[in-house]
C-alpha cells in the first residue's frame, strides 16, 4: 500500500485577453487529496468526500475518475486507488475548482507509480477532468494547476504549453461572490464570430501581456490584461461590474477582470498594501448588494501540484 497527500492550487483562467489559452496559479488556495494505491487489488477507484463541499455521489460524475482512468490508459498500469478529498474549492467559484481536483489527482497518481509521465502528460490527464466538468478539453486552468506560475497554451493539437515568468511583486486579490454562473452558460452567450477590429485588439493585448511578463514590466501587464471578446457579454452576470472596476483602478489596481467564466473577479496589484485595499473594496461592493462572498488576497504562485505528505 502506498499513501500520499497532494495539494493543487486554485487558478485564474483567461487573464482577460487570453481566452482559453492563459492562466495563473494562486498561492495558498487549493485542493488537498489523500491518495492510497493497492497494486495487488483489482483495478478500481474509490472516492471519499471529507469536506463540507457538496460533490457528486456517483464516482462517474467526479472529475477524479476520468483523470485516473486516463493515467492507466496512457501508462498501462493498474491497481485500486482510494482518493480522500480533504480540502475542496467550492465548485462553480470561477477559480479552477475542477482543475484543482483534477490536477491533484493526476499529479498524485503519477507519483504513486514513480512518475512515468512528463509534466505535460500530467496536464493531459488533468484535462480529462476539465472535459467532464465543462464539456471541453481546455488547459487554461489545468496547466497552471499542474505546473504553477503563468502558462500560455500556444496550441492544443499537439498540446504546446509555455511557462511564462512571474514578476516577484505580483499580487492577485480574488473575490468569489455567491452567484451561480455555469461554464456552459457563460460559453453559450459568446458570439461564434467577432469583427476583425475586435480580434486585432485582442491579439495586441495578448502580445502585450506576454511581453510585459517576459520583461517584468508590470504596468504593461496591467494595460494589456483587457478582454475585448468575452467580457462584454459575460459581465452581465456580475452586478455592478463596470462600477467595481472603476473603484479598483482608482485604488491603485493595475487591472480587473472576470476569473474564467465567473462569477469570481480578480485584480492585479504590485504592492501588498494595494492588494489588501483592493480586496476590501471588492468585499464592500458585493456586501452593499446583499451578496455573500469569500475574498483571497494572495500572490501569484510559481508552485503547481505537489506532495505535502
Task: Give dist(CA 138, CA 5) in Å, integer.
Answer: 26
Yes or no: say if 160 and 117 are a contact pair by the CB < 8 Å rule: no
> Terminal CA-to-CA distance of the chain, rounded, Å?
15
CA-based nearest residue to 303, from 149, 115, 103: 149
C-alpha cell at 123: 496536464
Residues taking part in catalysis: 130, 183
Residue 282 CB neighbours (<10 A): 28
- Helix extents (H) in the chain: 64-75, 97-112, 119-134, 142-147, 183-188, 196-215, 218-224, 231-234, 241-250, 272-287
In eight-state DSSP terms, residue 258 is E
CA-based nearest residue to 10, from 244, 299, 309: 299
Beta bridge partners of 155: 160
In eight-state DSSP terms, residue 289 is T
Task: Give dist(CA 135, CA 149) in Å, integer.
Answer: 25
Residue 73 CB neighbours (<10 A): 12
Yes or no: say if 94 and 133 are a contact pair by the CB < 8 Å rule: no
Q: How many CA atoms lie within 13 A of 286 on its CB side?
A: 21
C-alpha cell at 53: 463541499
Amino acid at each position: 500500500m502506498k499513501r500520499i497527500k497532494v495539494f493543487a492550487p486554485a487558478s485564474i483562467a483567461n487573464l482577460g485577453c487570453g481566452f482559453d489559452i492563459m492562466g495563473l496559479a494562486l498561492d495558498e488556495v487549493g485542493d488537498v487529496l489523500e491518495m492510497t494505491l493497492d497494486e495487488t487489488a483489482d483495478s478500481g477507484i474509490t472516492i471519499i468526500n471529507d469536506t463540507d463541499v457538496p460533490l457528486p455521489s456517483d464516482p462517474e460524475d467526479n472529475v477524479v475518475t476520468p483523470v485516473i482512468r486516463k493515467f492507466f490508459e496512457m501508462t498501462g498500469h493498474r491497481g485500486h486507488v482510494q482518493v480522500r478529498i480533504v480540502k475542496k474549492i467550492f465548485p462553480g467559484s470561477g477559480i479552477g475548482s475542477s482543475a484543482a481536483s483534477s490536477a491533484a489527482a493526476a499529479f498524485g497518481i503519477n507519483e504513486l507509480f514513480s512518475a512515468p509521465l512528463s509534466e505535460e502528460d500530467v496536464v493531459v490527464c488533468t484535462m480529462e477532468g476539465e472535459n467532464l466538468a465543462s464539456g471541453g478539453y481546455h488547459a487554461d486552468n489545468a496547466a497552471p494547476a499542474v505546473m504553477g506560475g503563468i502558462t500560455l497554451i500556444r496550441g492544443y493539437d499537439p498540446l504546446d504549453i509555455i511557462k511564462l515568468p512571474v514578476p516577484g511583486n505580483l499580487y492577485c486579490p480574488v473575490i468569489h461572490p455567491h452567484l451561480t454562473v455555469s461554464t456552459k452558460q457563460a460559453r453559450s452567450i459568446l458570439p461564434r464570430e467577432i469583427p476583425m477590429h475586435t480580434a486585432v485588439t485582442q491579439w495586441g493585448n495578448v502580445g502585450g501581456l506576454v511581453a510585459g511578463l517576459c520583461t517584468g514590466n508590470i504596468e504593461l501587464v496591467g494595460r494589456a490584461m483587457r478582454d475585448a471578446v468575452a467580457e462584454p457579454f459575460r459581465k452581465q452576470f456580475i452586478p455592478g461590474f463596470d462600477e467595481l472596476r472603476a473603484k479598483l483602478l482608482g485604488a491603485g489596481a493595475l487591472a480587473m477582470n472576470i476569473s474564467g467564466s465567473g462569477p469570481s473577479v480578480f485584480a492585479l496589484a504590485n504592492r501588498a498594501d494595494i492588494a489588501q485595499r483592493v480586496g476590501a473594496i471588492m468585499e464592500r461592493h458585493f456586501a452593499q448588494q446583499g451578496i455573500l462572498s469569500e475574498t483571497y488576497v494572495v500572490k501569484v504562485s510559481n508552485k503547481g501540484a505537489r506532495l505535502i505528505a
